[in-house]
Amino acid sequence: MKVLIVDDEKLALSRLKRLLTEQGIEDIIECDSPIKAITEVAKQKIDIAFLDISMPSMSGLELANNLLEIDSSIFIVFQTAYEEYALEAFESGGMDYILKPISSESIKKSLDKIYKYTDKVLDETKKIVAKRGNKIYLIDINDIYYIKADLDEVIIKIKNADAYLRKKIGDMENILKGKNFFRVHRSYIVNVDKIKSMQSVEQSKLEISFNDIDDIVTSSKDGAKEFREYIESRTL
């Protein structure tokens, strides 16, 4: 998940970045002016934008309107020291509104709200749009065998093809939260319902094979331990 943070105060930027990193957000773009933020959104896909409302050159409310004109799918979270902007913030398309000083708890609540919303959308569609070359795949999540990290994309393995999606594997982990998928390695998420067998290998890792395909995914040592605990909790 790619997150944009905009604030004209560098200390505020630094604190917000640290709090987001503590919540597992890795891909963070910092901007100390609205113009820089508009430039970033125009050139790359941004999932969430945290905007300070009170900035000298352009308010966060005005900036939100500009960003949403470029990409209406961005989740906007406003941050300010003033409660009186709350109504305007939501009228400007804000998903949430955080009062300064920002805390770890308030960041977590905002992210959880966004994750729940994306989960709701996924529940309604149960489809993921991915591509291979010029071919577009509308993939039912139940048809996915595993997902593999590949630089700034993920490879989605279905029965007869590999499809690509421009998202980080951490984004996919959040999207599939609550489904029967498990991240067994920093680079792999597996569909538990597609697993045929598992075999312990060196360093207590697991080799995972699947029904109907020949691919094998090897977990990390920690991933194997957590996955065993997950499987046991579902079979009790």
Q: Are residues 86 and 186 in the same domain?
A: no
User: What's the pLDDT score for residue 193?
Assistant: 95
Q: Are residues 106 and 130 in the same domain?
A: no
CA distance 53 to 79: 6
Q: Are residues 14 and 119 in the same domain?
A: yes
pTM: 0.53
Q: Are residues 182 and 102 in the same domain?
A: no
Domain count, the chain: 2
Which of 123, 142, 157 corresponds to the end of one domain?
123
User: What's the pLDDT score for residue 182?
Assistant: 96
Q: Are residues 144 and 38 in the same domain?
A: no
Q: Identify the three-state secondary structure at position 96.
A: strand
Name 67's Cβ contacts closer than 8 Å, sequence gap at least 6: 37, 38, 41, 46, 49, 51, 74, 76
User: What's the pLDDT score for residue 143?
Assistant: 93
For the chain, 236 residues long, the average pLDDT of each consecutive 10-residue run is 91 93 89 95 91 88 90 86 61 74 90 74 63 73 94 89 86 84 96 96 94 96 94 74
CA distance 113 to 79: 15
Q: Are residues 94 and 190 in the same domain?
A: no
User: What's the pLDDT score for residue 176?
Assistant: 86
- Give the pair of three-digit tokens for residue 199: 């075999």
Please give the residue range of the domain that contains residue 17.
Answer: 2-123
User: What's the pLDDT score for residue 50?
Assistant: 95
User: What's the pLDDT score for residue 45?
Assistant: 87
Q: Are residues 67 and 143 in the same domain?
A: no
The conformational region for residue 127 under phi > 0 = left, psi -120 to 50 = alpha, else beta, is beta
Asked if 163 and 156 count as a contact pair (C-beta separation under 8 A), the reply is yes
User: What's the pLDDT score for residue 117?
Assistant: 72
Q: Are residues 135 and 152 in the same domain?
A: yes
